Amino acid sequence: MSNAFTITAINDATESENRMHSDDVAARYGFKGALVSGVNVFGYMTQPLVAQFGAQWLSNTGFDVRFLLPAYEGDQVCVNSAPAITPEHKNLPDRIETRALNQAGTTLATLVSWPLDLSDYPRAYAMRKQAQKEAAIYAHDKRPLLTWDVIQLEKAAPTWLWTPSAEDNARHVAAQRDMAACYRGPEALIHPYFLLDTCNRALMRLYILPAWIHVGTVGSMLRAIKINEEIAVDCQPTDRWENKGHQFIRLYITMFSGNDLVFEADHTAIFKIAEK
């Protein structure tokens, strides 16, 4: 397959608050201007895939999105898809590689997606039980500032009962300028941009974050989520590490509708950025 799509990148007020989306803070870390969020870029990258495969791409699909370089406000982002050629995916069946490039032809992000095999997902159900048994009651004003020492690996966070509203979904769809019919009407599906923005919000429910950068997500969309559907979001920090002066955190995130797992992901961010 080959499918292409070009859009002008913008920042969006519906995103989780992040100071890296402001010019002055981004400049402090050596960037030329405010960064467009990775979840926004991810949304752009899904548009040609949904155009090619329809709404079924939003179910029974695995994905691995990596943000390599920043997109800036006003960038002309070209998105194209083809059979995967990255070394870890090129010999696997049905892998599609989608790339987002700026106006200079520089690759900003890659997204590899594939049909899911049937699985029982024991990891997700184990965390659901752990959260029900061990997690504390959520207190927004008790969130600590995210530093290396406050991260408690494998500790389940309080469950977040999230009901994506039609209004919030419509704002995300409008920000994407996405015309796909599946995101409209009384049975609308939530946009992938909204889905990953919610993963960012799960991180921000755990901690007060300084300037930070989402760098990648590996996930499974088992079933598309509908507007007004009550979703139980569970998460736990699973790793932290340092590289080139940056400090990273990884969360494992699951979303359940009733007793049914509908989404899971390993969601990775830089929470302490090396200053230039």
Full pLDDT tens readout for the chain, 276 residues: 556 778 887 877 555 555 545 556 665 666 677 788 999 999 999 999 999 999 999 999 999 999 999 999 889 999 998 887 766 666 667 899 999 999 999 999 999 999 998 888 999 999 999 999 999 999 999 999 999 999 999 999 999 999 999 999 999 999 999 999 999 999 999 999 999 999 999 999 999 998 899 999 999 999 999 999 999 999 999 999 999 999 999 999 999 999 999 999 999 999 998 876
Task: Give the domain ranges of the chain.
Answer: 3-272
Q: Which neighbouring-strand residues pair with 30?
A: none
CB within 8 Å of 124: residues ≥ 6 apart: 254, 256, 261, 264
Return the pLDDT at 232: 97
CB neighbours of residue 246 within 10 Å: 14
Please tell me the number of Cα atoms within 13 Å of 36 on its side-chain side: 28
Q: Which of 168, 177, 174 is nearest to 229 (CA)?
A: 168
Return the pLDDT at 276: 67
Tokens of 4: 């292409």
Distances, alpha carbon 165 to alpha carbons 95, 171, 220, 244, 258, in Å: 32, 10, 22, 40, 18
Characterize 61-78 residue by residue with b for buried, 16 or more Cβ atoms within 10 angstroms of its Cβ, and e for exposed.
bbbbbbbeebbbeebebb
Return the pLDDT at 94: 84
Q: Which of 15, 36, 39 is nearest to 168 (CA)?
A: 15
Beta strands in the chain (DSSP E): 3-8, 35-36, 61-67, 71-72, 76-83, 96-101, 107-115, 160-162, 213-221, 231-243, 246-257, 260-272
Distances, alpha carbon 247 to alpha carbons 41, 209, 214, 274, in Å: 22, 12, 12, 8
Helix intervals (H) in 110-209: 122-134, 166-176, 192-206
Q: Which CATH number among 3.10.20.30, 3.10.129.10, 3.40.718.10, 3.40.50.1820 corresponds to the domain 3-272?
A: 3.10.129.10
Burial class from Cβ neighbours inside 10 Å (0-12, 13-18, 19+) for residue 58 reads buried
Q: Which of 237, 230, 71, 80 is nearest to 160 (CA)?
A: 230
Asked if 227 and 188 touch (Cβ cutoff 8 Å), the reply is yes
